[in-house]
Amino acid sequence: MQKPVIAGVGFTKITAHWKYSLKDLAAEAALKALDDAGNSEIDAIVIGNMMSGIINGQENLGSLVAESIGLSGVPGVKVEAACASGAAAVMWAGLSVLSGVFDSVLAVGVEKMTDVTDNEDVSSALATAADYDYEVFFGATFPSLNALVMRSYAKTYKLSPEDFGYLPILMHKNAVDVAHAQLRFPIDMNGYLNSPIISDPLKLFDCAPIGDGAAALVITRRDVAKNSDHLVEIAGFGSATDILATYRRDDFTRLRAAELATKRALSMAELESKDFDIVQIHDAFSVIGYLNLEALGVVEKGKAHEFIASGDAERSGALPVNPEGGLKARGHPVGATGIYQIAELALQLSGRAASSQVEDAKVGVAMNVGGTGSNVIVHVLRRVE
């Protein structure tokens, strides 16, 4: 089967973009991706976004973004899968390209989180990824649900507070020289351990920041791509859901949907976990990053902290993880994150990742997680030689 390819990549810096609207951000990323792809004709636009209705008073992003880049008329739609909305947009764009109905589809992930200035409003909007009837109504927030997962994981594998620090420390280290990253400062173990408790045992430095950003990809097929110098193939993708309410799952220390999505993506790609040369994990919270690595089959259960501590996940390590700083330090504009992950991977595999470039990666994987693991989408990318 012919696979979709990524022909163009574009994104904005992640920060509090006070001067830009949702539309401005989406347009900047989209125009960069179109330019990078040699300005392919676009047959449809798929927007990955989670909270535009609640935070920005704006739905109908398909029409909004199409118009903003001069493509009004083209089919346009928004796809939402909580924090996995970005990868969902890429996956459905990929499916539509495989259908043969569309040749080239623009996937744009965008989130403008700072249009509300009260953190409680952002927390409420994020909480719509949880189960309203059984979690949110009773006051659960996303940090509190992830604290539950972290507590259970720490207890099961007898982890110390330090053990969770290795991942955020590496992410901040990686982001320092990345121009589009949000938090470009290093942290050390002391700083991590002394960062405020958000929801015990979750510390401030376990959490990705709030930020605005947009990322875009031109997804097409090799036979219709306008350029051929930096194509990256989407060798496989897989998606899975899990029970929405966290407390109703059998085991808090596994992300079942992540395991299933990985299996599906690898099956489509005809590859195995050992084939990964570079990994993008969804480290919205440190423990979720660890659970990603386990679900991807690259570390044993309960050993993710040892893998990070060993140096193997560094840019120069055996299996680089989030070399641009991940959600923790590169930033996490929710509905855009999945597209940032795939975009960064595409740059790495085509040797265009600038300061964060790792050496000679041929196969990479990106895991984008919605809810506390209730909706997970995995993409396996391969360099086109």
Is cis: bond before 323, omega within 30 of 0? no
Options 96-104, 168-176, 197-205, 305-313: segment touching a copy of itself (CB under 8 A): 96-104
88 is a site residue for a copy of itself (CB under 8 A): yes
Give 294's contacts (C-beta < 8 A, 6+ positions apart): 254, 255, 300, 301, 302, 304
Residues in contact with a copy of itself, shown as a per-residue x/- string from 7 to 26 under the rule CB under 8 A: --------------x-x---
Q: Is 60 in the site for a copy of itself (CB under 8 A)?
A: yes
Among 37, 207, 214, 240, binds a copy of itself (CB under 8 A): 240
Size (the chain), residues: 385
Interacting residues of 133 by C-beta distance below 8 A, sequence separation 6+: none
Q: Tell me whether residue 8 or residue 76 sits nearer to a copy of itself (CB atom).
A: 76
Contacts of 145 (CB under 8 A, 6+ apart): 130, 135, 246, 372
**Sign of the Cα pseudo-torsion (257, 258, 262, 263, in order):** negative
**Secondary structure element (H or E) that encloses residue 34, with its range:** helix 22-36
* 59 is an interface residue for a copy of itself by CB under 8 A: yes
Residue 149 interacting with a copy of itself (CB under 8 A): no
The whole-angstrom separation of Cα 384 and Cα 345 is 13
For a copy of itself, which residue of 114, 241, 273, 357 counts as binding (CB under 8 A)?
A: 241
How far, CA to CA in Å, does 377 sit from each of 87, 169, 290, 373?
6, 26, 16, 10
* Angle subtended at Cα 337 by Cα 331 and Cα 338, rounded to the nearest 5 degrees: 150
- Whichever of 14 and 50 has its CB closer to a copy of itself, that residue is 50
Q: Is 211 in the site for a copy of itself (CB under 8 A)?
A: no
Cβ 190 to a copy of itself, closest distance in Å?
37
Residues numbered 258-287 forming contacts with a copy of itself, rule: CB under 8 A: 260, 268
Parallel, antiparallel or unpaired: strands 44-48 and 105-111: parallel
DSSP labels, 173-199: HHHTT-TT-S--S---HHHHHTSPEEE
- Candidates 14, 17, 32, 62; binder of a copy of itself (CB under 8 A) is 62
**Least distance to a copy of itself from the beta carbon of 149, Å?**
16
Pairing mode, if any, of strands 375-383 and 232-241? antiparallel
> Closest separation between CB of residue 241 and a copy of itself, Å?
4
- Decide whether 210 or 319 has the Cβ nearer to a copy of itself: 210
Which residues, in sequence order, are bridge partners of residue 5? 220, 233
> Does residue number 63 form part of the binding site for a copy of itself (CB under 8 A)?
yes
Q: Which of 172, 305, 332, 379 is catalytic?
A: 332
CB 105 within 8 A of CB 93: yes
Task: Pick one of 31, 38, 116, 124: the residue that binds a copy of itself (CB under 8 A).
Answer: 124
Q: Rounded CA gap, 303 and 40, in Å?
A: 45
Q: Does the footprint of a copy of itself cover residue 123 (CB under 8 A)?
A: no
Minimum CB–partner distance for residue 373 and a copy of itself (Å): 10
Looking at beta carbons only, is 17 or 23 nearer to a copy of itself? 23
Task: Compute the least distance from the CB of residue 97 to a copy of itself, in Å.
Answer: 8
102 binds a copy of itself (CB under 8 A): yes
Applying CB under 8 A, does 243 fall inside the site for a copy of itself?
Answer: yes
Q: Is 114 one of the binding residues for a copy of itself (CB under 8 A)?
A: no
What are 247's two structure tokens?
Answer: 């407390």
Does 132 sit near a copy of itself (CB under 8 A)? yes
**Catalytic: 332?**
yes
What is the β-pairing status of strands 232-241 and 197-199? unpaired
CA distance 185 to 162: 19
Q: Give the nearer residue to a copy of itself in terms of CB position, either 329 or 377.
A: 377
Q: Site residues (CB under 8 A) for a copy of itself?
A: 1, 21, 23, 44, 50-54, 56-64, 66-67, 72-82, 88, 91-92, 95-96, 98-102, 124-125, 127-133, 136, 238-244, 256-257, 260, 268, 370-371, 374-375, 377
List, by residue number, the catalytic residues: 83, 332
